[in-house]
Amino acid sequence: MKPFHLFRTLAGATVALALISSPLMARPHKADTDKKEALYPDATREAPKLDLTSKKDQKAINEGLDAVSLGDKAKAEQVLEPIVESSKSKYAQALALQGLANLKYNDGDVKGAIGTLQKSLAIGVMPNDTYFQLLYELAQFQMADEQYQATLDTIAKWRAEGKKETADSYALEGNAYYRLEKYPEAIAAVQKAKSMTDKPKESWDQILMASYAQSGQKDQAMKLAQEQLAANPNDPEARANAVSVLVNAEKYPEAIQLLEKARAAGTLTDEKDNMTLAKLYLLQAQSSNDPAPNAAKAAQVLQDGIAKHTITGNSETYKLMGQSYEMAGNSDKAIAAYNLALPQATDGESALRAAHLLMVENKFSQAKPLLEQAIQKGVKHKGTAYMLLAETERGLKNKPAAIAAMKQAAQQPETAEKAKAWLKTAGVSK
């Protein structure tokens, strides 16, 4: 029986993708004496002349955009679509398209929102402030649709023509570079964003940490994670980031220490964090000359988590608990855990493990039904399961059944040679 392997899928650096919650809603521009400070005073784009003179169109535009804001899709489409199709005002058409773009975005149709917003911008009649704000909104839409290069291109156009720089725009740029795996560029952009404000967002540091880690700058990632945790010692997200960086740097004891500190304080309530702690102990056990102590700790974390409802007692959890107890040398508890995994298990791996442990104790009558269940549900190493079943039947002194099982093992590439040798020794020609 080959030893099981624990997949190294622990806490990964997660980068939050900030989406806009309330897209900009432009309203008909009033050519009045209101002296509002221009948002883009240095823009290179020449402000166009507005052609919205119809009071009917103005009223309809406002009515349609109000419907969009209220989430009344039917009314918004009923009012805005005719404006796009038949209004003589290019400005009215652009405003209607912008409203329909926001409607699509709110409805989850991001691709449709992008296309409609691009049509609105292409008409080219928006006042500069509205135009550039919508251009930036387009970059956000593209980011939400995972069009990362398009996001960068749009931001570059917005910045070059609008002659404006903001911390948020550099953070968005850094996020796009990170997704494109251009980590040096991502680092530079986020650092620029942080330099432009005294209130940087936590999500920016997540991008920065992940970029440091992915570009091999683990010390920088760790330094940033520690700074974040020191500033927010009770913040689960800051702790998760620190643990993630430590895990990526394979500093498992330090990651365990952080998680155990939180567990002792009663603040380790997230299931993912508790499962990460258990898996870290198992990784430590697998790399140790004496795996039992750390494996026992992994089992205890799982046991406590289930008791305190911070870990769900499902088939995967009980399977992991069984592996932990097995590695710790406690066969009885391992078998019990594997049995708890069986009712919800989608494969036969837990049944196979339990059966193997029972066979070691010569409990063949208990092992047999588990092996049959394992084969029926499916296991990665089917030949091994049939060989174990053959050995179980032999232990039960049922030679014909043992031969039948071994013939099945002989049909599996991984066990064919051994099975055929066994059959030959047993005097079975075919």
Give residues with Cβ within 8 angstroms of 21, minimum separation 6.
none
pLDDT at 20: 40
The residue with tokens 């590439």 is 413
Query: What is the pLDDT confidence band of residue 8, given thresholds at 50, 70 and 90?
Result: very low
pLDDT at 237: 83
Distance CA 427, CA 430 (A): 9
Distance CA 108, CA 61 (A): 23
Nearest Cα neighbor of 182 from 165, 207, 201, 153 is 207
Q: What is the mean pLDDT of the chain?
A: 88
Identify whether the C-beta of residue 392 lies closer than 8 Å to the C-beta of residue 370: no
Identify whether the C-beta of residue 116 lies closer than 8 Å to the C-beta of residue 104: yes
Structure-block tokens of residue 105: 């975005």
| C-alpha neighbours within 13 Å on the C-beta side of residue 425 | 8
Reported as type and span, the H/E element at residue 320 is helix 315-327
Query: What is the pLDDT confidence band of residue 250, given thresholds at 50, 70 and 90?
Result: confident
Handedness of CA 308, 312, 318, 320 (dihedral sign): negative
**pLDDT at residue 2 above 60?**
no
pLDDT tens for each residue of 257-310: 999 998 998 889 999 999 999 999 999 999 999 999 999 999 999 999 999 999
pLDDT tens for each residue of 22-76: 455 665 554 433 457 889 999 999 988 888 888 888 899 999 999 998 989 999 9
Whether the full predicted model's pTM is greater than 0.75, yes or no, is: no
Mean pLDDT, range 17-21, rounded to an integer = 38
Query: What is the pLDDT confidence band of residue 350, given thresholds at 50, 70 and 90?
Result: very high
pLDDT tens for each residue of 194-210: 999 998 888 898 899 88
| Helix-, strand-, coil-residue percentages of the chain, each rounded to 5 | 65, 0, 35
Handedness of CA 244, 248, 250, 251 (dihedral sign): negative
13 or 226: which leads in pLDDT: 226
